[in-house]
Amino acid sequence: MIERRDFLAGLGATAGALMLPPDAAGTVAGDLAPRRQATSDLWRDLRQQFQLPADYAYFNTAGLGASPRAVSDRVKSEMDREELSPAPGHSESDWTRIRGKCASLLGPSCSAGEIALVSTATEGINIVLNGLPLEKGDEVITSTHEHPALVIPLLHKIGTAGIVLRTFEPDLGTRAGTVERIRALMTPRTRLIFVSHVTCTTGQILPVAEIGRLADERHVWFALDGAQSLAQFPIDIAATGAHCFAASCHKFLMGPKRTGILYVRRDRLPELESTVVGAYSDQATSLAERQLTLRADAQRFEYGTQNAALIYGIESAVDFVAALGLPRIWQHNQAMAERFRKALQAQKSVELLSPAEAEARSAMVTFRIPGRNNGQVANALTARRLRVRSVTEAGLDAVRASFHVCNTDAEVDKLISAVAAEQG
């Protein structure tokens, strides 16, 4: 077991090599009290790893993650290093290592060759939608709670390929209800189910394994928008049955801004056409022989010069999360979200939009104050230096708070009191 102080000091440099004390869940009862104490001190002290001002509580990781110093320092130092001797290209071995670390966030069976380093979840989504052989009249199923990052490419595809969109509203009551709504939309023309793993509106974790089984039964493609799930909780991508998973690294992973990954399952790589290619997408190229062989792995979806500092920043972000332990982060964030949710449940003029079933709840809590303009409520809370986000997608008028390691229990308490004050 290492000392909390050593752990925090080490995060800046060698986070990946460090381990926290064993999870309290794995200890004998007599051990629990001192460990809980140490752990709660750790979360409080961890706040210092962020440049967020002390009086500013940031509850919008789901919008854009705050990066810890371990990440921003790495990006700055790599940028400076690059300027000493700018050179095109990048280290193949470093990139393979970093893709491998990203793959580790998607479970033990995911490999570096299934990961492409992209700029955003949006880019990954576009690679998938443009790479699939979608034709006029082909049907795509999605939810009414998707982010514009998926809605806009899907609508664009109606114009460019003539696809037909079929939408369902996620069931906030039961997971089975959501699966049944999708099943009811399936026809012989269904080619693709493309949904969020965690919705950006209500923070609902969709029943992806069940949806994946349905897709498999009907032989249709299954793609996930993982912008909100990557590094929010442990993922076993193989268990979801998803063929593709597009995600941002600049949300719960807390990586540098404008970074993302695209996972394409090994057996589906040859079927997904690469629509934007260039240097680094190829295995072998000969203009004289008019020959091109694209990479067999997901690197075929990468192209052109990359911003190396950002890619190294992704590595530091994965190391940071790994050093804390993703199961532990998830447990901690869920506890904050649950405390907030329960406190709001007790406030009589607040309506919670969180899912009924605990398994469907994430570290994002959405609520509204009926009778108020909730965009204004979000602005008022933010003006009190409690940064939340208003939710207008899916016709909602609500407020979302997302909880992560840059938050403390004291900040959650402030938010609870401020929401109470907003009800007059």
- Interface residues toward ligand PLP, by CB under 6 A: 63, 120-122, 147, 149, 196, 200, 225, 227-228, 248, 260
Q: Which residue has the tokens 């589906």?
A: 268
Assign 395 to helix, strand or coil.
Answer: helix
Assign 362 to helix, strand or coil.
Answer: coil
What is the total residue count of the chain? 424
- C-beta of 122 vs 130, nearer to ligand PLP: 122
User: Cβ of residue 125: shortest distance to ligand PLP, in angstroms?
Assistant: 7
- C-beta of 42 vs 223, nearer to ligand PLP: 223
Q: Which residues contact 271 (CB under 8 A, 6 or more apart)?
A: 133
Residue 204 DSSP class: B
User: Cβ of residue 180: shortest distance to ligand PLP, in angstroms?
Assistant: 23
**Contact between residue 400 and residue 145 where contact means Cβ atoms under 8 Å apart:** no
- C-beta of 261 vs 323, nearer to ligand PLP: 261
- C-beta of 18 vs 193, nearer to ligand PLP: 193
Please spell the DSSP secondary structure of 253-322, one letter per residue: T---SS-EEEEE-GGGGGGS--SS--TTTEEEEETTTTEEEE-SSGGGG--S---HHHHHHHHHHHHHHH
User: Cβ of residue 228: shortest distance to ligand PLP, in angstroms?
Assistant: 5
User: Cβ of residue 334: shortest distance to ligand PLP, in angstroms?
Assistant: 19
User: Cβ of residue 230: shortest distance to ligand PLP, in angstroms?
Assistant: 10
- C-beta of 260 vs 355, nearer to ligand PLP: 260
- C-beta of 121 vs 308, nearer to ligand PLP: 121
CA distances for 263 relative to 179, 187, 318, 376, angstroms: 23, 27, 16, 38
User: Cβ of residue 106: shortest distance to ligand PLP, in angstroms?
Assistant: 16
User: Cβ of residue 147: shortest distance to ligand PLP, in angstroms?
Assistant: 3
- C-beta of 12 vs 63, nearer to ligand PLP: 63
User: Cβ of residue 232: shortest distance to ligand PLP, in angstroms?
Assistant: 11
**Contact between residue 263 and residue 244 where contact means Cβ atoms under 8 Å apart:** yes
Q: What is the CA radius of gyration of the chain?
A: 22
- C-beta of 78 vs 225, nearer to ligand PLP: 225
Strands, E assignment, 108-202 = 115-118, 139-143, 164-168, 190-196
- Map 24-77 to HEC letters: HHHCCHHHHHHHHHHHHHHHHHHHHHECCCCCCEECCCCCCCCCEHHHHHHHHH
Which residue, among 337, 267, 256, has the nearest Cα to 72 in the 3D structure? 256
User: Cβ of residue 121: shortest distance to ligand PLP, in angstroms?
Assistant: 4
Read off φ and ψ for residue 289, nearest 5 degrees.
-95, 5
- C-beta of 207 vs 260, nearer to ligand PLP: 260
User: Cβ of residue 154: shortest distance to ligand PLP, in angstroms?
Assistant: 12
- C-beta of 147 vs 404, nearer to ligand PLP: 147
Alpha carbons 323 and 353: distance in angstroms, whole number: 33
Exposed / middle / buried, residue 96 (Cβ in 10 Å: 0-12, 13-18, 19+): middle
